Structure 1
Amino acid sequence: MPKLHAPKVIRTVADLAALSDVELQQCLLGLCAAIQARRRAHANAVAAGGLPADAQLDFDEYVWKPAEKRRNDWDQDFERTTAIADLPIRRRAVHQLIELRILAVEDLSAISERELLAVKDMASTTVTRLRELLHSLGLDFAEHPDPATAEYARNAALRRLPEEQLRASRAGLTDDAPVSRLGLRNSTLERTKRAGLQTLGELREASLRDLTVRLGRQELREVVVALQETGAGLRCNPTPLELWRAGVLELGDLEQPADESASVLDLQPWVGAVAESLHAAGIRTLGELRSAAAAGQLRTLRGVGAHSEDRLLQFLGLRASTPGGRAPAPGVPPATSVFTLGSSSGES
């Protein structure tokens, strides 16, 4: 039975064609290096007078020695005392770690991830696997000596967690926890810090208006969602309508009012600015709007034109949507989102 890693003599194209795709790639890399080495040796021999100037390069065959397949099983059982040399990582990376006196797995907890990435021959995929290995053993990389860098590193580590684990890590965070414990996107974390909001308590105390000015719409939505997952949202308790106006919620995140006593101003996400015209004209509740519509009085109200009347009737389910129209189908409330805002009173 032939050895798996026995040397192979390459003399013709047919010898190359007999190799597998993986073997061919490795063999060609080795062949290229061998030809370059032979060329240098030939040139040096000519320069030294050992060969005539017109001597041809002698290269009739190439003996390729397949490298033995290195162990690459990260699922095997490693221990804290497992030697670095026994890990399935590149040998050059092993040598660099040993130079840093990192001899066993547990020694990795003495270096920060950022410092490890700066080590020569240390690929980011290797660092990722080493991090996973440390976590499986209840360990982690050391924090970077610079506090600001360490904070961003912690935030980045949280961002790499699966969504379910990230939500679980946010649960129960108290006011004194740094904002970096929320696992926000780097751009969001940067904007909150520039706004002087360093802790969860400072975030929760901020008004919605202040956050709208200091943060972008996407960042504000991310912050509001993250705070809710801690178990305590903004202390100003913004209503769903206020969050919609701030751009935090989409129309599909809202529940369409059904109570006849609901203010017509709360209908703005569905009917637009005409809600203010209705309020100014004395139509203050959803019930009064239905009565005015049933009596055909909408067009008599100041600020209600044909388009607005049509939109209001569609909202009330009294007129079908026109082809190509954007209004929701009558009687069909918009889809609700998994984004939970608490009760209709605005509690978060």
Structure 2
Amino acid sequence: MIIMTQGWKLKEGTASYHHVSEDQLWSIIMKTLSSQSIKTTSYKFALLRAILENLYKTNEVLEVSFGQLAESFAKLYWNLVIRNGYSQGHQAQIEKELKDFQLEFLIPSGVSFDLLQEIRQHELIKRIESKVIAKYVVGALFSDTEGLVYGFSKKQRKLTITASCYEFLLKYQTNIFKLINYELAKFLQKKNPDLTQGILLEEIENITQRESLQQFQKMIVAHSGSTCFYTDRPLQVAKRAIAVDHFVPWSFVHSDELWNFVLTSSALNSSKGSKLPAERYLNKLDERNQLFKKTGDVYVKQYMETYDFYQFVKLYEYAELNGFEKGWAP
């Protein structure tokens, strides 16, 4: 067992690669989320949530870059602190960084992360990576999780999920995500006792969801046309009858990815809801995504860097395992 009272000072942590049972992993996750953990800030909730959001963006050896984690942190904390006004506690470094950034660029309170200029988003992500993720977060949670969830290297700026934990997180993703958000909501309630209304769990769950998917709609139309993915019928963009659909529902993926977006009508999008499309659409989507990967559009290629069909099929299968109804078709 790894015992570190000042884990945040570690420059690297070696993961434990022996086989770990699901019971052991549940115990570690529950302990980490509880008040028994060494880490008493909201970072533990944010890092576990960030790992879940990046499960399908890992490379072949299950590595996640600090930059990827910082992007998840930036979206979550900006919307919590600057958009919604939820304090993380008077000593929270990330709250200080966010408010300094807001003041530096004269950004009004209430503005969501999505509405920041892209150059500002990238700058904020870089600051959070160096001043929060690398400095305070990965080492501290490594101590709490005893090396059974991940290892890390500050020099290489990466976190590596253990194979046992990766499969565990895939299998129980929905339940763990809900647990994280429940505990985060309780934490925020304690830090914000003057709130006249309680913090809604649904609000925390959806706090990183994009307010607009217009940029993805334009990319898909430009590179694959404006026909319905499910019916091949033309869509009338000008009449706003077009919808950008998460092929695997956002409520499972908790991330907006070009490789998971298709175009359909607003009516069919409502009909589909949180269901999984029929399995026959998987290969059709992969064909579309392979074309996207070969495009000369640098922006599109950047969005497609982490796409892997094998991983996508696992995403689809685990969504069904987590209770999402499979087989929807118009």
Question: Is TM-score (shorter-chain normalized) higher than 0.5?
Answer: no
* Structure possessing the higher radius of gyration over alpha carbons: 1
TM range (shorter): under 0.3
Structure with the bigger RCO (C-alpha within 8 Å, sep 6+) is: 2
Higher helix residue share = 2
Q: Normalising by the residue count of structure 1, what TM-score does the alignment of the two structures yield? A: 0.21
Bigger strand share: 2
